[in-house]
Structure 1
Amino acid sequence: MKRIAFYGSSLLSSYWNGAATYYRGMVRALASHGWTVTFYEPDVWDRQKNRDMDPPDWCRVAIWQPTDEGLRTAAGQAAEADVVIVASGIGHADDALRREVLNRAGRNALKIWWDVDAPATLAEMRGAAGHPLRRDLPEFDIVLTYGGGRPVIDGYRALGARDCVPIYNALDAATHFPVPPDPRFAADLGFLGNRLPDREARVAEFFLKPAAALPDRRFLLGGSGWDPAALPDNVRAVGHVGTGDHNAFNVTPRAVLNIARDSMAEAGFSPATRVFEAAGAGACLITDAWKGIEMFLKPGREVLVARDGDEVAEILRGLSSDDARRIGEAAMARVRADHTYQNRAEEVTALFDRMAQHRELQA
């Protein structure tokens, strides 16, 4: 049992695809544990035109066209896999693809629903008794999520999942590490995130409000969808930042900011990928407050926590370069020891092995 068919948004492009680095870290680490992975991604949202990664040697990438025939052809490959993984947020005909993959997967294959935005997905299902995922959940052997803790576990079980296990974001030390500062990203505080409806109000509170309160400080905004004309004068928007520039973006400003989306902040226990990317590069990270942060980084020593924009501004007023460096170094040591994708892949591999053994005993 070593062949995985993984259906996700994109491995090759982070363009409008915040899950890219999570997929890359997980799949690379799974490959190092002996898994042969084929990643199936649709050619949508101009992602293939904005690749920031070539097809790797540790994973086969199959790009399918967003047509009925393309979907059926991609889904049909599930029949050859020992483990079939369908992720949330693929970006084209998600419900139809999930249904077709379940129909085509082998009878003895492990079938995994991997939710990379679980709090939002659960909110959708609770609000729609006829949601297609409600119908499909009992056919999956297990739900994996990239965060959410006990609220997400209980939520999925209540809606019919056989079981739910969070596999948290982590550090891919092969791609995120300290680099020299880059003048393009010079600032007192940087934030990297695409403009999304359930993030915008929190960006206004935790990033734009401190910028307005500290007109003498420089703020850097990376990500797609932001309107430079609507920003304070001391906020510089640089648009989409490819993963090749993430290290420089993280280490150059005095501090970088993590802002959870509404659903993630409400559920807690959902550290974004950028938390580990920033820590892995040795950046001083300021995060909005959310339940469970202490599971991953120690507040005050390895990360700075703010409850609102006023506290972000207060942190920046008192943050020296030496303090920022010490916090960044402590965070880097912590994530390299406890929160790498190798750690996560060991957990996933052990889980799949237990599930396969249980199935054999039940046969």
Structure 2
Amino acid sequence: MTSGIHIVILGLSITSSWGNGHATTYRGLVRELAARGHRVTFLERDVPWYRDNRDCKAPEGCETILYATLEELYDSHAALVRDADAVIVGSYVPDGIAVGDWVQATAKGLPAFYDIDTPVTLAALAGQGTGYLAARQISGYGLYLSFTGGPTLRKLERTYGSPMARALYCSADPTVHGPEPAEAEWALGYLGTYSPDRQPVLDRLLVQAAHALPDQRFVVAGPQYPADIAWPDNVERIEHLPPGEHRRFYNAQSLTLNVTRADMVRAGWSPSVRLFEAACCGTPIISDPWDGLDSLFRPGREILVARDTADVVNALRDMTPEAIKALGHRARTRVLAAHTAAHRAAELESYLAEAMARRRAAPARAPRQTVATARA
């Protein structure tokens, strides 16, 4: 792509990281897109839970516009969407199906979908459906960007009719995440919002390890954990940790734990943003196993894989400080070589160029007519 284009993103949230990992992904991506000469406008639904927990009111690299209702979106921002070179709708956008229909009917440029929750989305589409994407819409998005790679991309194209599905993984931001001198406050920590399907794994790999090692300190950071969870005395709880504190948090751990949601384990090739952030800090990682993990980090050299409590306990007891440090250094080297926000912006740029070329070469198709189209 030889010159900058205008990209409009309608995403869950870029201004607040409260209870979601979308914000940090979007922040790094738009900053690096701007650095590559592109203009980015981010449209975010103004909802109370993000309004009350905004930790980045003016993200670098984009113009951020808040809208209160669908009617305001349709009435005030139709020209913006119509004239953009590419319009990307993100997963979990409130009223995302209505938003998607409107974008596909309104945008003259390339309509795309960015699924930061692909396995969850596909599991929902196979059942009761989602509020942010209908299966019928997938063929209408000229590009489907997915946090999940591997066989899922073929499924999106062959089963759901996506013209072009590509992996756009999460990433780390080296301007935010990096090593820093710190004494280890915790032997093992975990950062993540509560999820019922992750909790049994967290219990097996951290809580039970804490019971087995009462002389070591552990920490779990993240919101929405039920009040009735019985944490061991040596497990510290942090309710919410803003992105600005993630670096210090990771650097204060000897090892950090990565736990993957069940749908993403089944799909494979679904790295968490925390995986890359921790590695970028040089913090060694213990992860639950899933297909595709070894395509990102070399097990035993750049990451540890734990299937049960004993694997975690043995690592905490037996690894020397030198071995732990070397593991973290190798993981950081891998991230800096392939998994930064700058890498993702370059990948997105190439995907958009390819999808736009395909769109120009394809026969014209009539826009989908919706109630919103008439309003626009």
Quickly say closer, same or farther: Cα 1:124–1:212, change in 2 above 3 A. Answer: same
| Per-residue deviation, 1:19 | 1.6
Question: Percent identity among equivalent residues?
Answer: 35
Match of 1:116 in 2: 116
The equivalences for 1:212-291 within 5 A come to: 212-227=211-226, 230-291=230-291
Q: Distance in 2 between matches of 1:320 and 1:74?
A: 60
Taking structure 1 as reference, are residues 180 and 42 closer, same or farther at Cα in structure 2, changes over 3 Å only?
farther
2:104 maps to a residue whose letter is L
Alignment deviations for residues 217-263 of structure 1 (CA, whole Å, 9 cap, x no partner): 21101000124662111111011000001001111111111100111
- Structure 2, gaps ≥5 residues long: 364-376
Tell me the secondary structure at the aligned position of residue 197 of structure 1: coil
Structure 2 counterpart of 1:69: 71
2:140 corresponding residue in structure 1: 139
Q: Which amino acid aligns with 1:27?
A: V
2:31 counterpart (17, 20, 28):
28
Partner of 2:63: 60
CA distance in 2, matches of 1:250, 1:169: 18
Instruction: Note the C-alpha offset of 1:7.
Output: 0.6
Q: 1:340 & 1:164 partners in 2: Cα distance?
A: 21
Amino acid at match of 1:22: T
Task: Please state how far the C-alpha of 1:354 moved relative to its aligned partner.
Answer: 2.3
SS in 2 for 1:254: strand
Q: Which range moves more in the overlay, 77-86 or 42-51?
A: 42-51
Residue 186 of structure 2 aligns to a residue in which SS?
coil
Q: Is residue 103 from structure 1 mapped to residue 141 from structure 2 by the alignment?
A: no
For 1:161 and 1:189, the matched residues in 2 are separated by 41
Higher relative contact order (CA 8 A, sep 6+): 2
Q: Tell me how large the CA RMSD over aligned residues is.
A: 2.1
Hey, what does 2:6 align to over in structure 1? 3
CA deviation map 1:149-207 (0-9, x unaligned): 22343245312222211111222111111223278xx1110100011233222222222
Looking at structure 2, the residues matched to 248 and 362 of structure 1 have their Cα atoms a distance apart, in angstroms, of 50
Deviation at 1:357, TM superposition (A): 2.8
Say which SS state the counterpart of residue 49 (structure 2) adopts: coil
Displacement of 1:110: 0.7
Shift of 1:45: 4.7
Normalised to the residue count of structure 2, the TM-score between the two structures is 0.89
Distance 2:140 2:344 in 1: 24
1:1-363 correspondence to structure 2 within 5 Å: 2-65=5-68, 67-73=69-75, 76=78, 77-90=80-93, 92-106=94-108, 109-128=109-128, 133-181=134-182, 186-227=185-226, 230-362=230-362
SS in 2 for 1:180: coil
Q: 1:128 to 1:284 in 2, by over 3 A?
A: same
Q: Is the 8 A contact 1:28 1:59 kept in 2?
A: yes
User: 1:35 Cα shift?
Assistant: 1.3
Instruction: Count matched residues.
Output: 357
Query: In 2, are the aligned partners of 1:228 and 1:236 still within 8 Å (CA)?
Result: no
Mean Cα deviation higher: 352-361 or 15-24: 352-361
Deviation of the 1:4 alpha carbon: 0.6
Contact 2:91 2:116 in 1 (8 A): yes
8 Å contact kept, 2:30–2:60? no
Q: Gaps (5+ residues) in structure 1?
A: none
Distance 2:237 2:36 in 1: 40
C-alpha contact (below 8 Å) 1:75/1:97 kept by paired residues: no
Say if 1:343 and 1:213 are closer, same or farther in 2 by CA, change over 3 A. Answer: same
> Which stretch has the larger CA shift, 96-105 or 329-338?
96-105
CA distance in 2, matches of 1:74, 1:245: 36
Rounded to whole Å, the distance in 2 between the matches of 1:310 and 1:148 is 30
Runs of 4+ in 1 over 4 A off after TM superposition: 128-132
Is contact 1:119–1:152 with CA below 8 Å preserved after alignment?
no
CA deviation after TM superposition for structure 1 residue 361, in Å: 4.0
* Shift in CA distance, 322/105, structure 1 to aligned 2, threshold 3 Å: same
What TM-score, normalized by structure 1, do the two folds share?
Answer: 0.92
User: Do the aligned partners of 1:180 and 1:248 also contact (CA within 8 Å) in 2?
Assistant: no
1:362 is displaced (CA, Å) by: 4.5
- How has the CA–CA distance of structure 1 residues 155 and 201 changed in structure 2, closer, same or farther, with 3 Å as cutoff? farther
Distance 1:78 1:121, change over 3 A: same
